[in-house]
Structure 1
Amino acid sequence: MNSALTFTGHVRTIAKKAAWKLSCIRRVSHLLDSQGISTLYAAQVRPLMEYAPLTWLSCPPSYLSLLDKIQHRAQRLIRLKAPPDQPSPTMQPLQQRRDVAGLCVIFKTHKQGAPHLTALRQPWAQPHGHTTRAATSRVHQLVVPFARTETFLRSFLPRYTRMWNHLVMQTQLHYTTSLHTFKSAANAWIKQP
């Protein structure tokens, strides 16, 4: 965290390290096929870009896009090495992975009652006094914290509380008891246009 209480410098450093690791993979890419490059990227570069993604959310999108550019370079490298008759493997966008991770934290906090995440617990929304179409899902929604600044609006609690409320209104995933089932279904829900 820098003197302005942001993670922008840290994310820039992470992007440089990830770009350096990807350039190392590119230097040995003549020895590897597309699957080998994909495996090395997933083992060496992507964990560096994903070890604390929920903390970095308050960074400006331009800094997070540095990480996305590195993933696009890796996809290009994998596509170049893929045989022409075989489709190249697609990677999940990093923002989608961050969103699924954030929703899983909210699920663990509010539905599974993880004790180590109690600081992230938000109060449940009050039910409406009258019957509406959204009244049945209202009891499963959370109170979104008020945000005065755009930086706080992008941070974990406001962003994923709003996303949780949208998920509750559009799906029945909040009734799921298994984290694995929730994660798979949330991934599919986020992919939808």
Structure 2
Amino acid sequence: MEYAPLTWSSCPPSYLSLLDKVQARAQRLIRLKALQDQLLPPLQPLQQRRDVAGLCVVYKTHKQHVPHLAALRQPWARPHGHTTRTAATRDHQLIVPFARTETSLRSFLPRYTRMWNRMVQQTQLQSISSLQTFKSAVNAWIKQP
């Protein structure tokens, strides 16, 4: 489950709920085997792991220009011709590919391009230079209500 988050990201919710059940069972087993005085940190939800991994792939594709991910590169959105509140973040947004069906909307490119654009509007994370720092900051951003 940990090694293929991008493969699982576009699955139907019914499949993802099965994976969540497996993780919940693993957490129960871990708690049973732990010592009574031992405090265990909570495991991250699998959806959060998938989202962080997806945004890291978008970051690698657009900021680090990793060659083997070039097929996933989306075009940058055109800047506004006039000044608006969102004009400053528009330079870092991507064009969301058109998707007609629910399955296509959940697929990697539309889902994580929309999430990238939302992140760019709400934060300045796209300007971070290190992938590890970006990953930590995205984890904190996703946890926010």
Q: Do structure 1's residue 180 and structure 2's residue 99 form an aligned pair?
A: no
Offset of 1:132 from its aligned partner? 1.1
Offset of 1:60 from its aligned partner? 0.6
Q: CA RMSD in A?
A: 1.2
Unpaired segments of 5 or more residues in structure 1?
Answer: 1-48
Output the TM-score relative to the length of structure 1: 0.72
In the TM superposition, structure 1's runs of 4+ consecutive aligned residues that sit over 4 Å from their partners are none
Name the residue aligned to 1:132. 84
Offset of 1:64 from its aligned partner? 1.1
Instruction: Give the alignment partner of residue 166 of structure 1, picking from 118, 121, 145.
Output: 118
Q: Which has the higher helix share?
A: 1
* Sequence identity (%): 79
Q: CA contact under 8 A between 2:5 and 2:49: conserved in structure 1?
A: no
Output the TM-score relative to the length of structure 2: 0.94
Q: Do structure 1's residue 62 and structure 2's residue 14 form an aligned pair?
A: yes
Offset of 1:57 from its aligned partner? 2.3
Equivalent residue letter for 1:168: V
Q: State the distance in 2 between where 1:59 and 1:65 align.
A: 10
Q: Which has the larger radius of gyration?
A: 1
Q: State the distance in 2 between where 1:85 and 1:52 align.
A: 34
Equivalent residue letter for 1:174: Q
Name the residue aligned to 2:141. 189
Instruction: Give the alignment partner of residue 31 of structure 2, picking from 79, 83, 92.
Output: 79
Number of residue equivalences: 145
Unpaired segments of 5 or more residues in structure 2?
Answer: none
Offset of 1:130 from its aligned partner? 1.7
Which of 1 and 2 has higher RCO (CA within 8 Å, sep 6+)? 2
